[in-house]
Amino acid sequence: MACGDNAGSKDAKGDDSTSAMPTAVKLKEENVTYKDDTTNLNGFVAFDESFSTARPAVIIVPEWWGLNEYPKKRARELAEMGYV
**What's the pLDDT tens digit per position in 15-49?**
555 445 457 789 999 999 999 999 998 999 999 99
Query: What contacts 57, CB < 8 A, 6 or more positions away?
Result: 83, 84
Taking only the tens place, the pLDDT of each residue in 42-72 is 999 999 999 889 999 999 998 888 899 999 9
pTM of the entire predicted model = 0.65
- Domain segments of the chain as ranges: 47-84
